[in-house]
Amino acid sequence: MEYSIDRAERRITEINKLHDEVQKEWPIIDQRIIGCVAYAPAIAVGDGLEGFTRDWVLIKLYRTKFDSDTYQGNKIYVGAFLCYLWF
């Protein structure tokens, strides 16, 4: 039980840091938009041989929102969350 409480408290701290960063660094909604959904198939339950849930989206990123000198390619760091993108 203690582990779950500690984990939840850490997660809340991370989310609060992300919220603070968004409020400070991205106050205008247009600054928060980094792309648009290009394709999002319906969620499928029990998909494939392993029977996993299929839930994914293809996102078109706007080049002007990323610094080409520091952008690492197939991932974007957003606060405490790391989102992998495959091209």
Could you state, in order of their start, the residue ranges of all structural domains in the chain? 1-31, 33-87
Residues in a beta bridge with 60: 36
Q: How many H helices and E strands in the chain?
A: 2, 6
- The SS3 of residue 18 is helix
Identify whether the C-beta of residue 58 lies closer than 8 Å to the C-beta of residue 41: no
Termini Cα distance of the chain:
41
pTM over 0.85: no
Strand partners, 82: 77
**Backbone conformation region of residue 7, classed left if phi is above 0, alpha if psi is from -120 to 50, else beta:** alpha
Positions of the chain with pLDDT lower than 50, given as ranges: 82, 87
Per-residue pLDDT at 39: 93
